[in-house]
Structures are given as C-alpha cells and as structure tokens.
Amino acid sequence: MRIRPATPADGAALFALRGRSCAGIVFDPDFECWSWDVLHRPGSGTLLAEDAVGRVVAFATFTHDGAVVECGMDADAPARDDALARLMGEVESRLRRAGAASVRVRLDPGDPVALALSALGYASRVVTAPQWRPVGGDASAAARIRDCWDPGWSVRLSDYR
C-alpha cells in the first residue's frame, strides 16, 4: 500500500470512489463540476492510497484547518480497511504539522467510510440535515419526488454546508 498526493491524472479514479449518499438518493454531478468542487478547492490537498498494482483504494481531500471535505473508498477492495487507516494516518500527521487541533469528516451515517472511521476511533455526532420544498408549491413535482422525500434523504455536498 502506498500513500501519495493525487495528481490531475488521478481525477477519474477518485471520481469513481466519490462519496455516495444514503436513503437511495445519490448526488449525481458531472466530472467537471465534481473535479472543480473537490480538486480545485483553494487551500486544500488530496492524498490517496493505492495498492500494489496501482489501483486507488481510498482518498481524502482536506483543508489545513482540519476539515476533510471529500473522501471515498473502494468498498469492495480487500485491503480497504488497511488503506483507509494508513491514509488517515498520513492526513492526521499533515494536519498536526499544519497546526490543526482536530480532523473532522462530514458524512452520511451509512457511508462505508463513516463506519470505517468509527472503527478507527473517530467520534460521531449529528451536525446538520437537509431541508427541502417543491418549487413554487408545484403539486406534480411534489408527487414525483414524494417517494424519496418522505423517507428522508440527503445529498452529500459538504461544500455547500
């Protein structure tokens, strides 16, 4: 397992591992917007973990005040837990050197990364939730989205929180 900074050539591999939402609804950006939001964020850095054959297994984009603004993991990779542990160890080390007091990651509770971070000793607390309404009170729009509205759903867009 190797930890290294991401380069623009890694963009597609990271996009494939980007965070998913829960309750059956996924935020579905195009690559150009996602890449801009995550990989071009001022003052941020991205590290990735790749296995022996060069497959990206996990990544994290973080700002130097300690916020991990995007992360992802190949949930099917056998070495995923080791990859995430090593990756976060390096992220923590860099943030410590930058003077951050803590590392903070916002995720949906069911995200595989959230479960893995809990196993690594990260404490969890509820911080926010999305709120929604149909545009213009449009009944047909409300009916169309009711199935995903009522059970509750969220999109993963830490940049806008």
Question: Which residues of this protein are in contact with another protein, per CB under 8 A?
Answer: 22-30, 32-33, 36-37, 40-43, 66, 92, 95-96, 100-109, 114, 117-118, 120-138, 141, 144-145, 147-149, 151-155, 157, 159-161
CB of 130 to another protein, least distance (A): 5
Q: Considering beta carbons, is residue 2 or 118 the nearer one to another protein?
A: 118
CA 40 to each of CA 36, 112, 116, 132, 157: distance values in angstroms, whole numbers, following the listed order: 5, 25, 26, 28, 15
CB of 87 to another protein, least distance (A): 14
Name the nearest CA neighbour of 22 among 121, 159, 155, 160.
155
Q: Considering beta carbons, is residue 64 or 82 the nearer one to another protein?
A: 64
Q: Considering beta carbons, is residue 43 or 54 the nearer one to another protein?
A: 43
Joined together, the tokens standing for residue 107 give: 């995720």
What is the Cα–Cα distance from 133 to 149, expressed in whole angstroms? 9
What is the Cα–Cα distance from 53 to 115, expressed in whole angstroms? 26
CB of 50 to another protein, least distance (A): 23
